């Protein structure tokens, strides 16, 4: 028996209407601009990596030596006012060590690595933190990164500046073309504004009587926006 199927006419027409509307929106005359908003600020926090690497024939020995040193480092940091919540383990690894002898790879021991990431809320104490960690036995003082604890306010300011500049740019283009600027059609933020300012390089263990100055300097929060404006009637 032959069966006939029918589809309501509005289900066939609806996709055509949707496609037509989409094409109409794509062909809509627009002025498209991009603009950047920047805010200069001073960092108020720093992140410092401090750690140690120990090698030994026995895994238990390398593990014990590294942990003893890092426990001393942690105690030193706590004594100088660093809070427990601001000391976080970012590396804890134990791996075999190999050497090539007579053309063969031979395991000769173990390597233990242990690293803390320390959040320094008083950036004036970055040098003291590095010095305390070194004196406690840390042999790896990693990259220092400056930032702000709460960048929300600066991000908001940068977005406002970026949008104002986008409007100014669009108005300039509209005036030059002899047309009026219509309402905003679409706004996109095309970059994420998070301020980070790392110090170049990495600090390695070195005996020194005087702490080197660690300057935070200034940093920027930068936001880029893309704005599309409708074109109004000719002037």
Q: How many CB atoms lie within 10 A of CB 50?
A: 28
| Mean pLDDT of all residues in 18-35 | 70
Q: Which of these CATH numbers, 3.50.30.30, 3.40.1260.10, 3.40.309.10, 3.30.70.2970, describes 45-147?
A: 3.30.70.2970
Task: Please give the pLDDT value at position 28.
Answer: 79
- How many whole angstroms separate alpha carbon 64 and alpha carbon 143? 26
Task: Please give the mean pLDDT across all residues of the chain.
Answer: 84
- How many whole angstroms separate alpha carbon 93 and alpha carbon 99? 19
| Mean pLDDT of all residues in 175-197 | 82
Q: Where are the domains of the chain?
A: 29-42+149-206+216-235, 45-147
Handedness of CA 86, 124, 200, 208 (dihedral sign): negative
Could you give the residue ranges of the DSSP H alpha helices within the chain? 9-26, 59-79, 126-135, 152-177
Q: How many CB atoms lie within 10 A of CB 169?
A: 16
Task: Please give the pLDDT value at position 212.
Answer: 52
135-150 in b/e form (b: 16+ CB < 10 A) is ebbbebbbebbbbbee
Read off the pLDDT of residues 47-61 as tens digits, 9 standing for 90 and up: 999 999 999 999 999
pLDDT band at 210; cut points 50, 70, 90: very low
Q: Do 88 and 12 form a contact (C-beta atoms < 8 A)?
A: no
- How many whole angstroms separate alpha carbon 59 and alpha carbon 63? 6
DSSP 102: T
Q: Do 199 and 145 form a contact (C-beta atoms < 8 A)?
A: yes
Q: Which of these CATH numbers, 3.40.50.970, 3.30.110.170, 3.40.50.2300, 3.40.50.920, describes 29-42+149-206+216-235?
A: 3.30.110.170
Tokens, residue 224: 């880029």
**Residue 2: is it exposed, middle or buried by C-beta count within 10 angstroms (0-12/13-18/19+)?**
exposed
Q: Do 118 and 77 form a contact (C-beta atoms < 8 A)?
A: yes
DSSP 122: S
Read off the pLDDT of residues 63-121 as tens digits, 9 standing for 90 and up: 999 999 999 999 999 999 999 999 999 999 999 999 998 889 999 999 999 999 999 99
| Mean pLDDT of all residues in 206-210 | 41
- How many whole angstroms separate alpha carbon 58 and alpha carbon 107? 11
pTM: 0.68
| Mean pLDDT of all residues in 127-139 | 95
């Amino acid at each position: 028996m032959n069966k006939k199927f029918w589809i309501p006419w509005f289900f066939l027409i609806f996709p055509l209407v949707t496609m037509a509307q989409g094409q109409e929106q794509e062909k809509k005359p627009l002025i498209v601009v991009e603009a950047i908003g920047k805010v200069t600020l001073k960092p108020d926090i720093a992140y410092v990596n401090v750690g140690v690497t120990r090698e030994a024939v026995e895994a238990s020995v390398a593990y014990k030596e590294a942990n003893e040193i890092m426990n001393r480092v942690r105690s030193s940091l706590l004594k100088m006012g660093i809070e427990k919540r601001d000391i976080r383990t970012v590396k804890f690894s134990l791996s075999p060590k190999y050497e090539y002898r007579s053309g063969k790879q031979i395991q000769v021991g173990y390597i233990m690595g242990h690293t803390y990431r320390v959040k320094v809320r008083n950036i004036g104490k970055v040098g003291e933190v590095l010095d305390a960690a070194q004196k406690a036995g840390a042999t790896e003082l990693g990259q220092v990164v400056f930032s702000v604890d709460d960048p929300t306010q600066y991000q908001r300011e940068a977005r406002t500046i970026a949008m104002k500049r986008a409007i100014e740019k669009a108005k300039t283009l509209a005036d030059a073309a002899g047309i009026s600027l219509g309402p905003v059609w679409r706004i996109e933020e095309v970059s994420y504004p998070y301020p980070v300012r790392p110090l170049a390089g990495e600090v390695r263990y070195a005996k020194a009587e005087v702490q080197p100055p660690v300057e935070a300097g200034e940093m920027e929060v930068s936001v880029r926006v893309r704005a599309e404006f409708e074109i109004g009637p000719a002037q």
